[in-house]
Chain A
Amino acid sequence: MTNPSESVIIVVVSRALARLIQLFGIYVIIHGHYSPGGGFQGGALLAAGVILLRMTEGYRESQTETSTAAAIPLASLGALIFAGTGLVTLAFGGYYMDYGAVPVPGVEEPIVRYYGILLVEFGIGLAVMTALVAIFDDMLGQAPGGDGEHAPAESTGAPPKI
């Protein structure tokens, strides 16, 4: 799982498939206002795309996706977007997470709530996606950064040393 797949077909097909899965994940997040879905489901789909590439392209090559070092900071950012939206409404004198309290000129309160929900869903999606990727990477047991000393031998098929 840490080494690239030996079959070219698997690598090429999974690259195309991962983009489709992630596109559908973004759709699920954005379309959560009108259909079943939302941040949790969309974030899980986005993470599924990254994890598919981790399994087929190998750990090293798929670092150009969400890299292991960036996963936990991005998860913090997602949770911070959620909590920060609530703090912004506090600053305008409303209750915590009361999006309608933010005065936007020319926009009525329900529309402000609409976009507040959308922002919160983006935060949820980012946090869930990167947290799942971080958990998967930690389960793999690879060294972050991947210098040559601790990295497993490439394409020998040997299991990584734990």
Chain B
Amino acid sequence: MKVSRLVLFALLSVSAGCQPEKPHEKVEVKRPEPVFVSTYKPLPSKSMLFKNATLLVGTGERIDKAFLFIKDGKVVEVGKSVAVSPDVEIVDVKGKWITPGIIDVHSHLGVYPSPSHKMAEDGNEMTAPNTAEVWAEHAVWTQDPGFNLARAGGVTSMLVLPGSANLFGGRGVALKNVPSVTMQGMKFPNAPHALKMACGENPKRVYGSDGRSPMTRMGNVAGYRKAWIEAVEYKKSWDDYYKKAEQGEEVEPPGRDLQLETLKGVLEGKIRIHNHCYRAEEMAVMIDIAKEFGYKISTFHHAIEAYKVADLLAENNICAAMWADWWGFKHEAFDTVTENVAMVDKASPNACAIVHSDSAIGIQHLNQEAAKAMAAGNRMGLQIKPKDAIRWLTLNSARSMGVDSLVGSLESGKMADFVIWNQNPFSVYAKAEKVFIDGALVFDRDDKSRQAASDFELGIEDPEGERL
């Protein structure tokens, strides 16, 4: 394929030279092939009809005594009554709740795995303030026991991000939370890459304390802008090259630069910005930088002060990914309000509030984290219901990651990623009983054979036993 395109290009170039009467015929120019491509294949699944569920669709809708029909790994239909052919297995889930699979937009599973130790820390390439060239997926340890613990908490997809030491930390990767030997076997097919950026204290602490730039928030912003100026130039050089090559001109392609390729991907709208940013005024500055260089910010992460600029975020179609209640570890995390998520959610119909974990423990209990944020909102009279709050863990996360046409809600045609809970999931006592990914049962609390243990866990405690 690659060769034939090259040959075609060469032939067309030559023939174009021989036939000047057709100089404007467009020449096909080889574009870079995708690399580290997903090999994810849905596990075997059946056609199933679940009935009598309390179902939170993920869109803000709740259906009682609901039917959910899945087939070929997809949601076929959700509703009050669904007719199916006799060969479909029917499961009565009376008393249970069904939600879309939980999606965590901020995880370091695999790159900061457990057990934690220095040589397992692969999330922060703290060697330069701009390391846009590194990819989290190249470091994901698929045997991190945290993946399995997260699955038991109903997490079906996640965005694994590099850390926040750098202005540009590198590319993040969307994973489907299935047991896999290879990263490619988990990689969410066709999900956009993320580019992790970081505001504030972390970059200036890491580099400034070494006497390097950035030493200040001024230096941070200069660093972003300098990089984007180069990226704009780099993109232009490739755009010019393709334009000329497609017109049949014999031109050499520009030299490849891994760092600038990532930034170019952002400028082209293919890679989404996930920006660690706590303070309101820094978010506003980052929005202006995005406008200056013509790219989009998908999401501010750890957005402790999002409540101060909730309307600004909504106007700019930016999500805020937040903790329910973490605060105080840094000065930029001091202005906590436990109503942050609820206040962002209620700021606008276009608001995109997300509860994220950034934690191997928190990811197991995101339902509880959202429940706390909901309860805080309700204490101030915002009247948030589970059908609303579930969006903070599902459809809004999917929107942030650019996969909302595929997952995040239980709507026809979407991947059948969902959780059957033993009760209302907005409770400390709720447990994910069954977890489905693409229609396949990947976790069953009542069936040991559906509770994957990673290689690391085998024989770790008792040569013949299980860790858990």
A binds B: no
